[in-house]
Amino acid sequence: MQQCSLFILTLLCVTVKDISGSWEEWWTYDGISGPGFWGLINPQWSMCNKGRRQSPVNIEPDKLLFDPWLRDIQFDKHKVSGVLQNTGQSLVFRVEKDSKHQVNISGGPLSYRYQFEEIYFHYGMGDNRGSEHQIDHHTFPGEIQLYGFNKELYHNMSEAQHKSQGVVGISLMVQIGEPKEKNKELRLVTNAFNKVMFRGSSYPIKHLPLSSLLPDTQQYLTYEGSTTHPGCWETAVWIIFNKPLYITKQEMYALRQLMQGSQLTPKAPLGNNARPVQPLHHRTVRTNINFNKQGTQVSSNCPDMYRNMHYTARYSHRSRSKKSIACKRKNVQKKCHKK
């Protein structure tokens, strides 16, 4: 009897130790370890439940604020090498730590220089879900997120992610379709999907020209939020490009074969790994898209950064304020659907 209870106790201890020793891994996208519980599983992740500046969000096109001071995004052209890994929660590409040439990200809304670190792949098991961010309540079949950390203030991602201005997230919506010009660079990644079928499996990818994964536009939306995985730290500047990335049906099929578990216990498919959208709570989403210049309809009460000020500066605001910016923002959405 005593032996038996001792055995059970040992077993319990082992189990508990296993779980507490790997908080990092013990979370999912559904059930009792799903997004609604992330903040309860681990006290260090309390922002997941309490935070009011969380990501992802639904972007409402008619509430975008045109900001003429937003610059172009600078993204180094260097190639990077790293490892594509099935973590059991996501498909993640992480750059080689001791790589000589790091990829800098700066400009846009960023006040600091950030260093590229990792890519997260979010996708649905069906075409009607997958992306984390939504545009006008439209969900895309997938979303690719490039994360970088603030290299001017911090040493690495683990330090930066829970500190002020620590992280940048660059988001590319994924559409299914034949890309116009074959994106050879993306194929370097998609060809490796079937090498990382199970949790813990990884596959090296060499000389990936990151910058050519980005769409050929400088139009973007930006807001301040959090990492979309635990601990949901509110340290991220988000940049969402106004043009999707195209992957083929076959590539999407390959993605959907990936599993959450090991080869022995594959569990469920890895897909549908998206955190639900979080309330905006009066945050502003800015854009560098000047809708007026694009020849859309003009209305006088639109929110934009050229609004009349009661404090007059030396230069004339008047001539600017006449050029009011179109309120009709529906073409943001259209652009996302079309190419």
Ligand X SMILES: *[C@@H]1O[C@H](CO)[C@@H](O)[C@H](O)[C@H]1NC(C)=O
Site for ligand X in 208-267 (CB under 6 A): none
* Site of tokens 């599983």: 41
Cβ-contact 54, 47 below 8 angstroms: yes
76 binds ligand X (CB under 6 A): yes
Which C-beta is closer to ligand X: that of 113 or that of 328? 113
299 binds ligand X (CB under 6 A): no
155 binds ligand X (CB under 6 A): yes
Q: Which of 158, 164, 257, 299 binds ligand X (CB under 6 A)?
A: 158
Short-list 86, 88, 91, 93, CA closest to 123: 91
Q: What is the C-alpha separation between 277 and 273, in angstroms, rounded?
A: 13
Shortest Cβ distance from residue 214 to ligand X (Å)?
16
Q: What is the C-alpha separation between 210 and 157, in angstroms, rounded?
A: 18
Amino acid found at 303: P
- DSSP H or E stretch at residue 337: helix 330-337
Q: Tell me which stretch binds ligand X (CB under 6 A): 99-107, 169-177, 214-222, 269-277.
A: 99-107
162 binds ligand X (CB under 6 A): no
> Residues 120, 123, 154, 246: which is the catalytic one?
154
Q: Which of 16, 159, 164, 267 binds ligand X (CB under 6 A)?
A: 159
152 binds ligand X (CB under 6 A): no
Q: Tell me which stretch binds ligand X (CB under 6 A): 121-129, 132-140, 155-163, 315-323.
A: 155-163
100 binds ligand X (CB under 6 A): no
Shortest Cβ distance from residue 41 to ligand X (Å)?
22
Amino acid found at 323: K
78 binds ligand X (CB under 6 A): yes
Residue partners of 21: CB distance under 8 A and separation at least 6: none
Q: Which tokens go with 234?
A: 């509110």
**246 catalytic, yes or no?**
no
* Site of tokens 């939306």: 221
Helix, strand or coil for residue 10?
Answer: helix
* Site of tokens 């922002």: 47
Active site residues: 154
Query: Where on the chain is the footprint of ligand X (CB under 6 A)?
Result: 76, 78, 101-102, 104, 113, 155-156, 158-159
